[in-house]
Amino acid sequence: MDKPEIKELKKKLLSNRKNGYDRLDAAALEHMEPYCRDYMAYLDAGKTERLCAAESVRLAQEKGYRPFIPGMELKPGDKVYVCNRGKAVMLAHIGRAPLDQGVQIAAAHIDSPRLDLKPNPLYEESEVAYLKTHYYGGLRKYQWVTIPLELRGVVALKDGTRAEVNIGADAGDPKLVITDLLPHLGMEQGKKPLSEAVPGESLNLVVGSRPMGDEEDTNRVKLAVMQLLYEKYGFTEDDFTSAELEAVPAANACDIGLDRSMIGAYGHDDRVCGYAALRALLDLDETPARTAVCMLADKEEIGSDGVTGMQSAAFDTFMEDLCASQGATLRRCYENSFCLSADVTAAYDPDYGEVYEKRNAAYVNYGVGLCKYTGARGKSGASDADAETVAYVRGLLDSCGVVWQIAELGKVDAGGGGTVAAYMANRNITTLDAGVPVLSMHAPFETVAKLDCYETYRAMKAVYQAEHGVR
């Protein structure tokens, strides 16, 4: 063969992944920026799962979505939602096809690693007041010291009222912090593994140091702090028992890089996919062929358990009620449905290249990352999508010009992780993982590429607009 023939053969037979900036036209890049600005505003408004759920509902209502009431009549074009206990949101845009032919689902989660207050958190030691925390999710504890933190959440009182707590988010607010050992005295600490250098029980928030009362009194700083909380929010120390208060990073989303091509923020995992799934649904201009469903779940970071997690019957109840409106059976709907489990994946980081397998890693600016399986070691905990499912998604994305890549989380036996995919697959719903590659995943400040955010949104939209299911 001559050189032109060899070149053509390579083009035909060999894979040739390209950077998304070499594939997208100017029009797509122009739409990317406003989408990412809206996403950054969504992140800033939704620092906790409760706040994120509330913001999602607000955006849905602006687009004509109304609360779903079991038994209500539904017709093609109707748009409904259910907010599960203020922490998870399920939405549906009713399609032209009957529900027994299945639905198109994008499922993400809106909880992120954080520090929760313990039930009895407030104490004083050496005339400094602290709040004790219990970390939530798979975070690296050393990353949470010496950074400014906010305290967000609710305190439920016995009389049925509820106080919304916001300390550190508004302009002029004080911040909270967890102190660390100075390097001059940190020799022994520095010899410990990263996972042990900062014990979980030392993640205590500094909340005050100014005493009140006479010098012979006890707990003077603790009392002063409690008085401030009572004056602003009306709760006492015993009310911490029925509180959900979360310490989260006190930093808003911002552009990263001199070229502003990336976004730095807390909570990309997994609100970057949650927003893509939500926004793609809200942006459907026409009634979809198949009913489009968006699931924004809670509790994924700790196993998807609980009444607001993906393993809860809440999703089944929502779907069964939708099916009942058309006389369809839930199991028939499920077996004909497709779900894109929208969760982030690890972006290749050349500074830590030893834990990645370069041929099967996700790269920044190469688009949405498809993951045939997640899990750990021998794919433990994964749903492991079949070949037909991956082919179906490839076809959908290619037909819409979406930039995508396929990847694993890291090297075999280097670690692992899970998503909600297994819990969707356990319902007999054909499922594939896909999401945005993230640098510094689970850190208080994560980084993603704008191009990957936008292509993930376009992938979600392609799934919702599909004319037929995977089978």
| Amino acid sitting at position 266 | Y
| Amino acid sitting at position 72 | M
**Average pLDDT of span 126-138:** 97
What DSSP string runs through 121-171?
EEEEETTEEEEEEEEESS--GGGGSSS-EEEEEEEE-TTS-EEEEEESSST
> Between the CA atoms of 20, 23, 27 and 32, what dihedral angle is there, to the nearest 10 degrees?
-10
Per-residue pLDDT band at 66 (split at 50, 70, 90): very high
Tokens 């909380």 locate to 229
pLDDT of residue 122: 98
pLDDT of residue 418: 82
Which positions ≥6 away from 61 have C-beta within 8 Å? Answer: none
Per-residue pLDDT band at 8 (split at 50, 70, 90): confident
Region at 393 (left for phi over 0; alpha for psi -120 to 50; beta for the rest): alpha
Instruction: Give the span between the Cα atoms of 450 and 276, in whole angstroms.
Output: 12
Tokens 């203020």 locate to 86
What DSSP string runs through 355-424?
GS-GGG-B-TTS-EEEES--EETTTBT-----HHHHHHHHHHHHHTT--EEE--SSSTTS-EE--SHHHH
Tokens 């997690």 locate to 309
264 closest CA partner among 280, 253, 274, 273: 253
Which positions ≥6 away from 407 have C-beta within 8 Å? Answer: 345, 360, 361, 362, 369, 370, 371, 437
| Amino acid sitting at position 342 | A
Residue 430, classed as helix, strand or coil, is strand
Which positions ≥6 away from 254 have C-beta within 8 Å? Answer: 40, 263, 264, 265
Please tell me what DSSP assigns to residue 308. T
Which positions ≥6 away from 243 have C-beta within 8 Å? Answer: 117, 153, 154, 155, 156, 165, 235
- Cβ(250)–Cβ(150) under 8 Å? yes
Q: Phi first, then psi: what are they for 84, rounded to 5°?
A: -90, 100
- Whole-model pTM? 0.96
Which tens digits make up the pLDDT trace of 107-130? 999 999 999 999 999 999 999 999
Q: Is the model's pLDDT at 447 over the cut of 90?
A: yes
Q: Is the model's pLDDT at 176 over the cut of 90?
A: yes
pLDDT of residue 415: 75
**Average pLDDT of span 66-78:** 95
Which tens digits make up the pLDDT trace of 354-391? 999 999 999 999 999 999 988 778 887 788 889 999 99
pLDDT of residue 356: 93
Instruction: Give the span between the Cα atoms of 460 and 315, in whole angstroms.
Output: 19
Per-residue pLDDT band at 417 (split at 50, 70, 90): confident
Lowest model confidence (mean pLDDT) among 7-16, 31-40, 260-269: 7-16
Helix (H) or strand (E) holding 67: strand 66-67
Is the Cα torsion angle 190, 193, 199, 203 positive or negative in sign?
A: positive
